[in-house]
Structure 1
């Protein structure tokens, strides 16, 4: 499932019209789909306020508002122009809503307070002017002072569909209709769009992905299928971890626990004797802990289906780090290389050891150390260039994670939020990705699923508050897996 420019999106709409699909029918489908996504995201009814321009974007918001009201939400309208200036379709949708005229003041009501940005569509861009600017300022004020959540119809108003530029609305959720717009992938677009919830519309089929693909349950339906009834722990994979070191035990606990919650079958942590005694209390009892003077060689020879290497490994003995380089040069075991494993490759200049069975998970700083000459490029270009040099799968962390493999479109992960900016999240991600590798999932799919599930788990944890710890993410992994299977996000 690809991203499209504004012009390409209009071509898709024109193609639908030529096949006899009316603009009103598409609006009804879009508005209903938007409401369905919002109801999944907010299971408890609150108050929804539609901020309306005079075009079809306002019509989408009005249709969504109708379905929200039918689901028990209280609704209100704020409009930039009087009804007499509205286009025929939004006017008709307002009449179908059978709602009072737009208000001057938003009444008090139950939480959440959800603001639907229906001011402008994809054909408009740039700085918002009168009479739209005051409404945009009002939405921003309610977001800052009253905890309101801004949901943009298709794109945040004022955003350029192609570049993501524009000084309009900052949304918490953006609900692109039919196909995600290219501007949502840029640094400017990511900063304004928040979480992206794609709204599929059957009559607006997305073109096949070329260079960049939107990763979601609808576009990769074969992943994370239900387990067969005769499934057993041997089918769930044998996973070995080289994680943690003296003074850095937490990373090992988080990574191993994530493997457990993601469905790993037999899980073994290999480590040096010097720090394993401190793991006896925090490590789940399901994890086997093997102490040895040669943990690296043991991990590679134990018959694991996949290895997770690097979280918290920085204080490992130097001879074991050298042994790791030797093993990577000869072993064909699928492996996630994270954190200190990546730093080891960077400091020794051994990125030549990366192979097709390796999945690497650098954050921007680690990526800079691995490939200094690529770090200043656009992230999509940099990811594609890196896997052009090295035959591995790259999961490049960031505000929106990218997954790149040579010869395939780079994948864009839409889940997660800023409250995940806390230590240990990468350890959890590595554990989940390694679990899928051990179950025979291809590295690109394992990486993409891990990124989506961890981001979604962190979203589910928002019920506890705006900050999500790595432990919170682990706790919600099961629910995130169910959300993927039910295509709820």
Structure 2
């Protein structure tokens, strides 16, 4: 599913109107879809306040409020302008609600979440927030900062340019693009202001599929993670070989192997050097086969693994370990994911020529800067495209919004995850999940994209227990994330 500009979105809407779909029908679908997504995000009803401007974006928020009320939420409205200045459709949706806008600043009453729906401005708005809209945006910011409110933006945070992502816009915790994601969401400023991004598909809207940047979600990539056949056995579930951990960095091995197991690997084998602290092996999941060896790299590459995961926590391994890795990478053709210290060794040795089409690399921005210092200063999307044009591997660039790229394919944008996942070990878990998907035969860009989506979604699921998600929390919720993908539930 492609990202679109504001003009392209309006063209899609006009095409729907030409087929006989009414603007009100699209608004009703959008508002209902927004409410459904919000109900999925929160485990119980609470208070929802709609902040509305003059236009149809506010109408979407009003329809969503109606559906939230039917689901048990307490609702209210804050209006930036008098009703007589509104468009016809928003006025009609206000009459449907049969409540008047609040005059005073709302306060959270009762239990449950305190949700603010940002419906002040739509995708056609340009320039800085002004006048009553600016005042309402400031009010939302104060409630978010000081009173625990959660801001959900209808389509885009008000003030964010749909095309460029520029603007001192509302800071949302959750953005719900309607129909198609807008280009501004993927900009650096958009990433900072949109929070989590949850698409609201519209069945009556024809969708383009020709952009250089695609929104990765279950609706756009059907067929991944199909149910297992009833005769499935552990050999069918993939044999993942993992080279991870070294003295002082054993936690990476525990996290990586645990994630591989919870992602569904049939057999997981950890290869470590012989001086790997024996008392720390007890921290490994009992299902993992641990193979200490004088030459673990050689043993891992010569074993009958379907895919290899290499690098998490290997920074304190021996010089022979690292030299052996570069040697075996040159000739092995099976799917391999290279992360963390494996990437640092490749960068240190200047051996980017080793990166091939069977490799998935997963650098964070610092590791990527060591691999490609010549791309410093470029946007993440531009840098990803330039890197994979030069190197044949699949690149997963970590960040607040992960990107996945491979030469000849559109770059994929992962919308899942949240700032509470900014903690050590999340990358190790991601590597284990991707390694499992590769071992099960997934194509490299599918494995990388799906791994990012599942880990991000697992982290979102842990929000029910608080705003911080550790790598262990992510692993614990992987099963639920898999169910969410299959059921298109997010």
> Normalising by the residue count of structure 1, what TM-score does the alignment of the two structures yield?
0.99
Partner in structure 1 of residue 234 of structure 2: 233
Q: Distance in 1 between matches of 2:175 and 2:159?
A: 13
Q: Deviations over 1:351-398 (max 9, x none)?
A: 101111100000001101111101321111111111111111000001
* SS of 1:304 mapped into structure 2: coil
Partner in structure 1 of residue 467 of structure 2: 466
Partner in structure 2 of residue 384 of structure 1: 385
Task: Kindly indicate whether the alpha-carbon contact (under 8 Å) linking 1:125 and 1:157 is maintained by their aligned counterparts in 2.
Answer: no
Instruction: Tell me how far 1:43 sits from its aligned partner.
Output: 2.6
Partner in structure 1 of residue 367 of structure 2: 366
Partner in structure 2 of residue 395 of structure 1: 396
Deviating more after overlay: 463-472 vs 425-434:
463-472
Q: Deviations over 1:103-134 (max 9, x none)?
A: 42424232200000011111112221111111
Partner in structure 1 of residue 326 of structure 2: 325
Q: Distance in 2 between matches of 1:432 and 1:60?
A: 37
Q: Deviations over 1:426-455 (max 9, x none)?
A: 000000000000000001000000000111
Partner in structure 1 of residue 486 of structure 2: 485
Q: Does 1:83 align with 2:77?
A: no
Task: Kindly indicate whether the alpha-carbon contact (under 8 Å) linking 2:43 and 2:464 is maintained by their aligned counterparts in 1.
Answer: no
Q: RMSD across aligned C-alpha pairs, in angstroms?
A: 1.0
Instruction: Tell me how far 1:278 sits from its aligned partner.
Output: 3.2
Partner in structure 2 of residue 348 of structure 1: 349
Partner in structure 1 of residue 59 of structure 2: 59
* SS of 1:180 mapped into structure 2: coil
Q: Distance in 2 between matches of 1:101 and 1:465?
A: 32
Partner in structure 2 of residue 455 of structure 1: 456
Task: Kindly indicate whether the alpha-carbon contact (under 8 Å) linking 1:454 and 1:477 is maintained by their aligned counterparts in 2.
Answer: yes
Q: Does 1:151 align with 2:155?
A: no
Q: Does 1:102 align with 2:139?
A: no
Partner in structure 1 of residue 8 of structure 2: 8
Task: Kindly indicate whether the alpha-carbon contact (under 8 Å) linking 2:6 and 2:123 is maintained by their aligned counterparts in 1.
Answer: yes
Q: Deviations over 1:310-343 (max 9, x none)?
A: 0000111111211111100111121100001000
* SS of 1:281 mapped into structure 2: helix
Deviating more after overlay: 130-139 vs 212-221:
130-139
Aligned length: 489
The aligned runs of 1:54-453 (5 Å cut-off) are 54-107=54-107, 108-453=109-454
Deviating more after overlay: 78-87 vs 102-111:
102-111
Task: Kindly indicate whether the alpha-carbon contact (under 8 Å) linking 1:313 and 1:340 is maintained by their aligned counterparts in 2.
Answer: yes
Task: Kindly indicate whether the alpha-carbon contact (under 8 Å) linking 1:253 and 1:279 is maintained by their aligned counterparts in 2.
Answer: no
* SS of 1:26 mapped into structure 2: helix
Task: Kindly indicate whether the alpha-carbon contact (under 8 Å) linking 1:417 and 1:459 is maintained by their aligned counterparts in 2.
Answer: yes
Q: Distance in 2 between matches of 1:376 and 1:132?
A: 34
Instruction: Tell me how far 1:263 sits from its aligned partner.
Output: 0.4
Instruction: Tell me how far 1:185 sits from its aligned partner.
Output: 0.5
Q: Distance in 1 between matches of 2:192 and 2:300?
A: 41
Task: Kindly indicate whether the alpha-carbon contact (under 8 Å) linking 1:334 and 1:358 is maintained by their aligned counterparts in 2.
Answer: yes
Instruction: Tell me how far 1:487 sits from its aligned partner.
Output: 0.6
Task: Kindly indicate whether the alpha-carbon contact (under 8 Å) linking 2:16 and 2:206 is maintained by their aligned counterparts in 1.
Answer: no
Task: Kindly indicate whether the alpha-carbon contact (under 8 Å) linking 1:59 and 1:89 is maintained by their aligned counterparts in 2.
Answer: yes
Task: Kindly indicate whether the alpha-carbon contact (under 8 Å) linking 1:249 and 1:278 is maintained by their aligned counterparts in 2.
Answer: no
* SS of 1:395 mapped into structure 2: strand
Task: Kindly indicate whether the alpha-carbon contact (under 8 Å) linking 1:247 and 1:275 is maintained by their aligned counterparts in 2.
Answer: no
Task: Kindly indicate whether the alpha-carbon contact (under 8 Å) linking 1:454 and 1:473 is maintained by their aligned counterparts in 2.
Answer: yes
> Normalising by the residue count of structure 2, what TM-score does the alignment of the two structures yield?
0.98
* SS of 1:483 mapped into structure 2: helix
Q: Distance in 1 between matches of 2:293 and 2:128?
A: 63
Unaligned runs of 5+ in 2: none
* SS of 1:381 mapped into structure 2: helix
Q: Distance in 2 between matches of 1:451 and 1:436?
A: 11
Instruction: Tell me how far 1:99 sits from its aligned partner.
Output: 2.0
Q: Distance in 1 between matches of 2:236 and 2:410?
A: 30
